Amino acid sequence: PRALQKKVVEQEAAKLTKQKDHASPPPPLVIQPPEDYDGVGVEYHTGRSLGKGGFAICYEGKHHGKHGVQTYALKIVKASMAAKKMEEKFRTELQIHAKMRHPHIVEFHKAFTFKACTYIVLELCPNGSIQDMVRARLGLSLPEIRRLVVQLCGAIKYMHSRNVIHRDLKMGNLFLDHEMNVKIGDFGLAAVLVSPGEYQGSYTTALSRRTTLCGTPNYIAPEILDKTKGGHDLKVDIWALGCIIYAMLCCRPPFQAGSSNEIYEKAKALDYHWPKRDPDSKKVRTHIPAEVKDLVAGLLQPNPDNRLSLDDTVSHPFFNMHGGDHIPAVLDPSCKDTAPSWL
Ligand code: ADP
C-alpha cells in the first residue's frame, strides 16, 4: 500500500507540474540575438509551441534573412533554471552538439542569451519525434523501421567516428524532419571519449545525471549500472539502439517496469520477452519475424564487446528480407499517425 500511495503522490505531482507548464508565459514575440543585432532585422519571430522537455521549452522561430524566411526550432531555457546540473547539461549540449554536422543529426545553428533566457537555434523538425509516431501508431511497420534504423545507424557511426557518445538515445530524442527523415537531437548527456574510460565534457556519471534530469532510464546499458567496471564507452549507444528497435515494434521498451531499480535488474538479467503471437490482436504487432529478433539480440548483448557493430547492423539479414526492396525511399508525413497506404 505504501508503494501504491507513493505512485499516487507521484502522479498528482506530475499533474501539477503539467498545470504549471500550461501557465508558463509565452516567450517574447520578437527575439534578438544581441551579438548579431545591427538594427537590420536579424531577429526571430516566435510561433507555435513545439513541446516541452525536462528543462527546456521549444517554439518555432521565423527568421527573415537574406534568403527569405527560414523557420527554426528555438529551444529556450530560463536563466533562473540554471542550477548546477542544468548548467552542465547545457554546456555539454552547446559544446558537443555545435560540432556535429550530419544529415541525420538535428543541425545546431547558434546559441545566445536574450532577456534572462538562453536560446538555442536548431533545425526545425516539424513532424515530432519517433516516440510520438510510435504512440500514435501503436508500433511501426518493418519497412518503416528499416528506413529509420539505417538513417539512425549512419548518424551514430558519424558520432562514434568523432568519439562522441550520445548516452541518451531514445525514441523521444529522435526527431522527424519535413520529409520524415530521422534527426538525432538532445546532446545534453553526450560525452567525448578521450581514451577508453576517460571523457571530456562531463565528470558526473551518466547514470546520476540521467536519473536527476531525465526520469526513468529505460534504455540504459548494463555496464553503466556496474560501478566496478568504471566507465562505459561508445557501445552504450548500440544497446540503446537495440531497445529502440524493440520499442518501435512493440510500442514499449524491452525492460519496462514500474521503477528504475526493476528496470536495472531486468536489463542486467537480459529479461525481455517478445509478445506472444496472437492472430486476433488488432492493436499491437504480435508476429515478430525471426530476423528482427536476431538483430535485437545481437544489439542487446550484455558484454559490450559482443554487440553488433554499426556496419554489421545495417548488413544484418533483417535489412535484406524479401530481396532488400523493402526499404521505402520516401515516407509521407501522414505516416506519423496513420499506417502507410502501401502496407
Ligand atoms: P530537454 O532538453 O528539456 O529534454 P528537448 O530537447 O527534449 O528538451 O525538447 C523539448 C521538446 O521540444 C521535445 O520533446 C520536442 O517536442 C520539441 N523539440 C525539441 N527539438 C526540436 C526540433 N529541433 N524541432 C522540433 N521540435 C523540437
Q: Is the pLDDT of residue 330 over 70?
A: yes
Tell me, rounded to whole angstroms, the distance of Cα 141 from its chain centroid: 20
- Residue listed under C-alpha cell 526499404: 327
Residue whose CA is at the smallest distance from ligand 1 atom 7: 53
Q: Which residues have any ligand 1 atom within 6 Å of their CB?
A: 50-56, 58, 73, 75, 106, 122-125, 175, 185-186, 188
Distance CA 155, CA 160 (A): 9
Residue whose CA is at the smallest distance from ligand 1 atom 1: 53
Chain segment 89-106, per-residue pLDDT in tens: 777 778 899 999 999 999
Residue whose CA is at the smallest distance from ligand 1 atom 5: 53
Distance CA 21, CA 327 (A): 40
Residues annotated catalytic, as ranges = 168
Q: Is the pLDDT of residue 117 over 90?
A: no
**Assigned C-alpha cell, 157:** 557511426
ipTM greater than 0.90: yes
CB-based contacts of 317: which residues, under 8 Å, 6+ apart? 291, 294
CA of 58 to the centre of ligand 1 (A): 6
CA of 284 to the centre of ligand 1 (A): 27
CA of 241 to the centre of ligand 1 (A): 20
Residue 56 alpha carbon, nearest atom of ligand 1: 3
Query: Of 293, 134, 329, 324, nearest to 342 (Cα)?
Result: 329
Percent of the chain exceeding pLDDT 90 equals: 52
How buried is 26 (Cβ within 10 angstroms: 0-12 exposed, 13-18 middle, 19+ buried)? Answer: exposed
Chain segment 252-287, per-residue pLDDT in tens: 999 999 988 899 999 999 999 999 888 888 778 888
For residue 6, the model assigns a pLDDT of 60
